[in-house]
A and B are shown apart, each in its own frame.
Chain A
Amino acid sequence: MLTVCGLTKRHANAHRAVFRSLELAVGAGEVVALVGESGIGKSTFLNCIAGLETADAGQILIGQPEKDIVTLDETARAALRAREIGFVFQAFHILPTLTVGQNIAVPLLLGRAPPATHPARIAELLEQVGLSGFAERWPATLSGGELQRVAIARALVHRPSLILADEPTGNLDPRTADEVMSLLLDQVRRQRAGALVVTHSRHVASRCDRMLTMAGDGLR
C-alpha cells in the first residue's frame, strides 16, 4: 500500500534536516501509528507522503501499480491523491457550505465512478459510520464526533488504498475519540486499505496494528 525509502526533508531556509533517510512500509489492511514529540516532523512526514510537501530525497511508493509521489508534478500528485489516498484531519475540515452528502461525494466527483452509483455509495458509507439519514444535513448542525465520522466516510468513499490520519481524535472527548477510532480501524480493515495514523495519544496508538516512534535518528 505504502513504501517509503530513504526519505529526507530539509527546512526551506536551513540545511538542517527535518528528518533523514526514513524507511516505512504499510501493508493492506494494516494500521500503523506514528508517535513522537511535538515539532519532530510527524505532520511534515505525513504531508510528504500525501504530496502536500516535497521531499528532498527518497521514494514514496503508493497504489497499485505503484507510483513514486516524490517524482510527480503537482497535478499528477493531486490525481494520485484523488485515486489512492483518503485523509482524516484533527480539525475535521468538513466544508461548511456543502451538505453532509455533498461533502462525502467530493472524492467520488474527482474520481472515475459513474455518477449514477454515487448516491448508493454515499448512503452505504453513511450507514457504516452510523449517520444514516444525515445526507441532507448541514455540517453546522453536527457535533464534533459526528463531523469526524463524516470525515472518515469522505476519506473512504472512493475506496483508496491508503488512509492518512493526522491526530484524528485530537479534538474529541475520550469517549467519542474511542468510538471514532473504532470506526476508523473497522472501516480501514473492511476495505483492506493501509493506514498511517499520526497521534499524540498512546491509547490511540495502542489500538493500531503497529506503533512507530519518530525521533531525531529516524523511525523506531
Chain B
Amino acid sequence: MNTLAWWLISAQFHSRRTATWLSMLAIALGVALGYAIHLINQAALADFARAMHRVQGEPDAVLAARDSAGSVPLAIVNQLAADPTVALVAPVIETRVRVAESLPAVRLIGVDLFSAGGLMPKLLPRPAEGATIADWLTGGVYVSPTVLARSDLRVGAPITLRRGDRLWTTRIAGDLPAMANEDLLLVADIAWVQEHFGPSDAVSEARILLEPDSAPAEWRRHTAQRLPAGLLLREADDDSARVSNLSRAYRVNLNVLALVALLTSAFLVFATQLTAVAQRSTHFAVLGVIGLSPRRRLLQILLEGLAIGFPGALLGLLMGYALAVAFTQLLGGDLGGGFFSGGVPLIRPTLTATLAFCFLGALTSVAGAIYPAYLNRRQPLAQALKIGFSPTPTGEAAHDHRRLKRLAALSLSAVALSHAPPLFELPLAGYAAIAVLLLIGIDAAPLLTHRLFSAGASLPLPATQRIALQNVAQAPLMAQVAASGLIVSFALTASMVIMVSSFRVAVDHWLDEVLPAPIYLRSKGTPLPPEVLSALRQADAPFVKVEGTAHGTLTLDPRRPDVGLIVREIDRQHPAQRLPLTGRLATPPDDRLPVVWISEALQEIYGIHPGQLLRLPLLGRDVELFVGGVWRDYSRQFGALVISRDDYQRLGGEFQANDLALWPRAGQEASAMTWLTAHTDRHGLRVSTVGEIRDLSLAIFDKSFAVTYALEAAAMLIGLFGLAVTLATSVWLRSREWATLGALGFDRRMLSRAVMLEGALIAVIGLLIGLACGVAIGAVLTHVVNPQAFHWRMPLIVPWSRLLVGAVLTLAAALLASRHAARQATRLPLAQILASGQ
C-alpha cells in the first residue's frame, strides 16, 4: 500500500470513527457467528468420529445386517475368516441394557478378547486388582468411566443388567480406561453375551482387518457380491460420513444464516463507504485533478473496505473462537438440531477454515465497497469540484426504464432459481434465489422512494413534513443506502418468522394426526416387557384399545443415514386412520403382497413412488413390497417406511413393540395413568399423555430454532446501525441546506423533526420492501429450501399480525436510531456554515 493510500485510510478512520467501528464490528459479528457455528459443528463431528474409532477401531471393512432386527450368521463370519486376504475377523454382539435408574439404556458390547486386541485395542478392559481371565470368561462386565461416574456402580461390585423384563446379575470385573467421558458402554466376553442375549448362531457385526498387501476397496466390492441380500459390507469411514450427512443440511442452513449476518454487515460497509464517497467527493475530485488516476480512486475505496474487513474478520475469528468454547462448555456440541448430544467436544481451529473465514470477512467488506468505489471512479471531476457528490438522479425516464428492465430480469432469475433442483443435495439454487430477491428489494428502493414521495411532496403539508418528504424523494440514492440494511435484515427476519410459523402450524397439525391416543407408553431401545403387555391384555386393564408400534432401522445406502422401519398395528385397507397421508393411495395388485407406506423424505431421497414394487433388505433377505402411499413425517429427516404388523409377521418377522398407544375407558383416564405407573415403574418405562408429548415436541421444535433468533436479532441490529450511520452522514452532507433552512426560519425543533421524519420515511420504505421480500423469501424457504434440505413440506402461512407488530417495533427502533442524526442537525453551527460556504 503506498503512502497516500495509507494517509487517506487513516484520515478516513479518524474522521468517521463511529461508522468505521460499527462496520468493523458488524463484519466481526458475521464472521464470529459463522466461525463459531463451523467450529462447534466440526468439533462435534470430530468428537463423534473419535468416539466411533474408539469403539470400532480402524477395520478395513465392517460386515453388518441392513435391517436393525437382523444379524450376521456365524457361518458367513467363518467363511470370511477362511479368506486368505483376511488377516483378522473380530465378531461383535451389541445390545442395549439398563444398569441404573440414573442412566439411559447403555450399549453392551460382546467381543472376543483375542481378536479385539488386534482390531479394537481401546475396547480392551483393565481388570480390577486380583481379577483373572476366568472373570472375563464367566461373565465379568467391564464398565466405561462415565457409567461409573454417573451411577453408584463400583469396580468389584455386583451389577444387574436388565433388558425387557429379564434380569441378569453379574459383577464388574474392571473398567475401560481408553474410553472417553461421553462413552456410555459395557464390554463383556462375546460368548457370555451371546448365551444371555442371543442370537445363538449369529453376531451383530464382524469387523475385518485385511492383509497389509491387499486392496481393501477391491476386496469389499468383490466380497459384497457374494453376500446374502440382508447383509452389507461397508467401510469403517462410512459411519462418519453417515453422521456428517445426517447433520449436513442443518449445518449448511445454520452457516447460511450466519452468512446472512455477514451479508447484512456488507450492507453496513456499503452504507459507510457510499456515504464516505459522498462526503469526500470534492476531496477525491481534487486528488483527481492533481493526478490520482480513476483506477486508483476506485482502488482507494476498495482498500478502505479491506481495511475495515480484515481487522473486522480477525476480531470476528477471536470472538467466534471464544463463542464456540463458551457454547460447548455451557451447552455441549449440539446447536439445536439434536444430532450431537452428550459430551463437551474440544474446539480445534484448523488453519484452512480460519483462513477461509478471515478471507470471507475481508471479501464481504470489499464487496460492500464495490459500488461506492465504482461511483467514486465515475464521479465527473469538474462537477464534483463545483457541487460535490452527484449520484445519477432517479426519475429520468431512461434511467427508470433501465431499472425496470433490470428488476424484471432479476425477478425472472429468482423464479428460475427457485424452481431449480438441489445441487449436491443442497438447496444452493434456493439460497441464490434468496440473494437475488434481496437484490431486487434494494434495487427497487430508489424507484419506489421517488415515486411514492414525489407525489406526497406536492401535497399541502406543513413545512417540516414537506421538507422531509422532498428530501427523501429527491435523494433516493441516500434513501436506498440508508434503507438497504433495513431491507435485508427485515426481509430475512420476516422470512424466518414466516417459515418457522408455517412449520410450527404444520407440526402442530401433524402431531394431531400422528398421536391419536390419549396416552403413550414408550421404551427406548429395548422391547416392552412381556409382563406389561400381558397385564394390558387382561380384562381388568382400564383400556378399551391398545396399539403397538415397533421401531427399527434399515440401511439402504451405507453412506446415508439409516431409514426408519416402523411396524404398526394398522389396517392396511385404511392407512389414513393412522398415517397423515399425502397424495393418492395405490392399491396392491395382489392382496398377499406386503404393503409399505413411505415418508415424503424417503420418496424424495430414493425416488420411490406409490404403486411401485420395491425390493428391500428386510429380515435378512430381499423382500418384495408394494408402495401403498406417501405420508408426512417431520421426525425422521432421512426417511421412514411403515409396514403393518400383520404383513411383517406374515414375512416371518417377530413383532416386539417399543411403543404403545393406549385409549383408556371413558371416565377412567386418571385411574388408567395410576394403573400404568404401577405396572411400568420398575421397568423404567416412560408413560406420557398426548399433551405432554405435544408440549415436549413443540418445546424441542422451539429450541431447535433458538439459534436462528439470535442470528436474526444480530441482523436487525446491524440494519438499524446502517440506518443511523447513513442518516447522520446525510445530515452532515446537507449541513448547508439545513443552515439555509435555519436562516429561513426553521427553528432547531423543526430541523430535528424533519430529520426524524426522514428517518421514519426511509424506515417505512425499508420495512415495506423488506416485508414484500420477506414474504417472497419465506415462500422460498418453505417451498424450496425446507423440502430440498430437509424433505419437509408444509403449507405457507404468513402471520401478518406478528409481522406488523415486528414492523411497528422496528419503525420505533428506527426513529430512535434517527434521534442521533436529528440531534446532530440541531447542533450544527448554522451561522458558521452559512458564513464559510461549506
Query: What 1/0 flags go to A86-115 for Cβ under 8 Å of B?
Result: 010101010111100010011101110001
B287 CB contact (under 8 Å) in A50, A96, A106: A106
Q: Judging by beta carbons under 8 Å apart, are A110 and B290 in contact?
A: yes
Q: Judging by beta carbons under 8 Å apart, are A97 and B290 in contact?
A: no
Contacts A52-B381, A53-B382; A97 near B14 (Cβ below 8 A): yes
Q: Which residues of B contact A109 (CB under 8 A)?
A: 2-4
Q: Judging by beta carbons under 8 Å apart, are B11 and A98 in contact?
A: yes
Contacts A93-B286, A97-B11; A78 near B293 (Cβ below 8 A): yes
Which A-chain residue is minimally distant from B15 (CB atoms)? A97
B3 CB contact (under 8 Å) in A43, A111, A115: A115
> What is the size, in residues, of chain B's interface with A at 8 Å between Cβ atoms?
26
- B114 is an interface residue with CB less than 8 A from chain A: no
Query: What 1/0 flags go to B289-304 for Cβ under 8 Å of A?
Result: 1111111000000000
- B794 is an interface residue with CB less than 8 A from chain A: no
Give the shortest distance, in Å, between B628 (CB) and chain A (any CB): 72
A207 to B12, CA, bound (A): 41
Give the shortest distance, in Å, between B173 (CB) and chain A (any CB): 78
Which B-chain residue is minimally distant from A80 (CB atoms)? B291
- A75 is an interface residue with CB less than 8 A from chain B: yes
Q: Which residues of A contact B286 (CB under 8 A)?
A: 89, 93, 95
Contacts A97-B14, A97-B15; A75 near B294 (Cβ below 8 A): yes
Contacts A109-B2, A110-B4; A82 near B382 (Cβ below 8 A): no
- A186 is an interface residue with CB less than 8 A from chain B: no
A58 to B260, CA, bound (A): 54
Q: Which residues of A contact B381 (CB under 8 A)?
A: 52
Q: Judging by beta carbons under 8 Å apart, are B3 and A95 in contact?
A: no
Q: Judging by beta carbons under 8 Å apart, are B292 and A110 in contact?
A: yes
Which A-chain residue is minimally distant from B285 (CB atoms)? A93
The range of chain A's interface size is: 20 to 34
- B69 is an interface residue with CB less than 8 A from chain A: no
A93 CB contact (under 8 Å) in B8, B282, B291, B293: B282
A81 to B294, CA, bound (A): 13
Q: Which residues of B contact A149 (CB under 8 A)?
A: none
When A and B form their complex, what is the total count of cross-chain residue pairs whose Cβ atoms lie within 8 Å?
70
Residues 3-19 (chain B) with a chain A CB within 8 angstroms? 3-4, 7-8, 11-12, 14-15
Q: Judging by beta carbons under 8 Å apart, are B291 and A79 in contact?
A: yes
Contacts A98-B7, A106-B287, A109-B3; A79 near B385 (Cβ below 8 A): no
- A154 is an interface residue with CB less than 8 A from chain B: yes
Give the shortest distance, in Å, between A73 (CB) and chain B (any CB): 9
Query: What 1/0 flags go to B1-41 for Cβ under 8 Å of A?
Result: 01110011001101100000000000000000000000000
Give the shortest distance, in Å, between A84 (CB) and chain B (any CB): 9
Contacts A87-B289, A98-B7; A78 near B294 (Cβ below 8 A): yes
- A42 is an interface residue with CB less than 8 A from chain B: no
Give the shortest distance, in Å, between B294 (CB) and chain A (any CB): 5
- B288 is an interface residue with CB less than 8 A from chain A: yes
Contacts A53-B382, A75-B295, A89-B385; A154 near B3 (Cβ below 8 A): no
Q: Judging by beta carbons under 8 Å apart, are A154 and B291 in contact?
A: no
Give the shortest distance, in Å, between B54 (CB) and chain A (any CB): 61
Q: Which residues of B contact A79 (CB under 8 A)?
A: 291, 293
A83 to B293, CA, bound (A): 12
Q: Which residues of A contact B2 (CB under 8 A)?
A: 109
- A3 is an interface residue with CB less than 8 A from chain B: no
- B283 is an interface residue with CB less than 8 A from chain A: yes
Give the shortest distance, in Å, between B672 (CB) and chain A (any CB): 80
Q: Judging by beta carbons under 8 Å apart, are B294 and A52 in contact?
A: no
Give the shortest distance, in Å, between A157 (CB) and chain B (any CB): 10
B291 CB contact (under 8 Å) in A83, A91, A95, A96: A83
A93 to B281, CA, bound (A): 11
A105 to B380, CA, bound (A): 24
A178 to B294, CA, bound (A): 36
- A74 is an interface residue with CB less than 8 A from chain B: yes
- A47 is an interface residue with CB less than 8 A from chain B: yes
Give the shortest distance, in Å, between A72 (CB) and chain B (any CB): 12
Q: Which residues of B contact A52 (CB under 8 A)?
A: 288-289, 380-382, 385
Residues 38-86 (chain A) with a chain B CB within 8 angstroms? 43, 47, 50, 52-53, 74-75, 78-79, 81-83, 85
Give the shortest distance, in Å, between B537 (CB) and chain A (any CB): 88
Q: Judging by beta carbons under 8 Å apart, are A102 and B382 in contact?
A: no
Q: Judging by beta carbons under 8 Å apart, are B12 and A97 in contact?
A: yes
Q: Which residues of B contact A82 (CB under 8 A)?
A: 290-292
A43 to B382, CA, bound (A): 9
Q: Which residues of B contact A115 (CB under 8 A)?
A: 3
A106 to B283, CA, bound (A): 12
Query: What 1/0 flags go to B227-239 for Cβ under 8 Å of A?
Result: 0000000000000
Q: Judging by beta carbons under 8 Å apart, are B289 and A81 in contact?
A: yes
Q: Judging by beta carbons under 8 Å apart, are B291 and A81 in contact?
A: yes
Q: 6 interchain pairs (CB within 8 A)?
A: A75-B295, A82-B291, A95-B286, A95-B287, A96-B283, A105-B3
Residues of A within 8 A of B (CB): 43, 47, 50, 52-53, 74-75, 78-79, 81-83, 85, 87, 89, 91, 93, 95-98, 102, 105-107, 109-111, 115, 154
Q: A53-B380, A82-B291 are in contact. List 17 more A-B contacts (CB 8 A).
A: A52-B380, A52-B382, A52-B385, A78-B288, A78-B292, A78-B294, A79-B291, A79-B293, A81-B289, A81-B290, A81-B291, A97-B8, A97-B11, A97-B14, A107-B290, A109-B3, A111-B291
Residues of B within 8 A of A (CB): 2-4, 7-8, 11-12, 14-15, 282-283, 286-295, 380-382, 385, 837
CB-based closest 4 A-B pairs? A82-B291, A97-B11, A78-B293, A52-B382
